[in-house]
Structure 1
C-alpha cells in the first residue's frame, strides 16, 4: 500500500470508529517512519504546532510496551495507562512505519468504559488486517 492509500484507509476506518462510538475515539493520529528516514509522514489533530516537539515523550509508554517485541505488520497495542497527549494506540503499518493514535482529553481506560468501544475496537482490528494483508511501502 502506498502512503496516499494508507492515509485514506486510516481516515475512513477512524471515521467508522467514531460513528460506531458516537463520538471521537481518537482526536489525533500520525503515521511515523523509523527508516530509511525517521520522521512524521502524516499528522491529523489539534497539536500541529507542538506534535513534533512532544513526540518523544508522548511515544514513551507505547515504546516501552513494545520494546523487545518483533511486531509484524498489522500488529497493534493499546496503552491503557496513557493519559493526556501520550499515545493510546500503535499499529505497525509496514516494515518501518507505524500509526499512532491518541485522544488528547481521554485515556484508553475512559474510552473502554463505554460499551460502544467493542464495536469501535472491531473496526480498529479490521484496519490492522488491511495492513497485515497489504503493508505500507514507500
Structure 2
C-alpha cells in the first residue's frame, strides 16, 4: 500500500469508528517512521501539526515501550491507558519501521472504551489493522 492509500484507509476507518460510537474516537493520527536518527513524521491527520511535532517526545511516553521496531511486526498494536490529553492512545505497526499513532486529545483511552458502543465499534479498528497486514505500507 502506498502512503496516499494508507491515509485514505485511516481516515475512512476513523469516520467509521466515529459513526459507530457516536463521537470521535481518535481526533488525530500520524504515520511515523523509526530510523537511525529517531522518529520521522511521514503523514499527519489532525488540527495541531506544529504542536504535535513540538510535543512528540513527551506525547509518545506512554507507548514508548511498545514502539520498538526490533520487537514489533506488521500487525502488532497496542493501547495505552496512560495517554491523557495529547499523549498518544494507541499505535499499530503498518510497515517496516512504520507505525500509525492514534490520539484523542479530549479523552483518555479509558473514557473512550467505557462507551457501551466501543465493543461493537472495534471492528473498524480491526479491519484497518487487517488491511495493513494484507498490504503493508512500502
Give TM-score, length-normalised by structure 1. 0.92
SS class of match (2:133):
helix
2:34–2:69 CA contact under 8 A, matched in 1: no
CA offsets, 1:16-67, max 9 Å, x none? Answer: 0111011100110100011377411111112122110101110111012455
SS class of match (2:59):
helix
2: CA distance, partners of 1:36 / 1:97: 13
The Cα shift of 1:128 comes to 0.6
Aligned to 2:15: 15
RMSD: 1.7
Structure 2, unaligned runs of 5 or more = none
1:35–1:97 CA contact under 8 A, matched in 2: no
Aligned to 1:114: 115
Aligned to 1:101: 102
Give TM-score, length-normalised by structure 2. 0.92
Aligned to 2:62: 61
**How many matched pairs?**
137
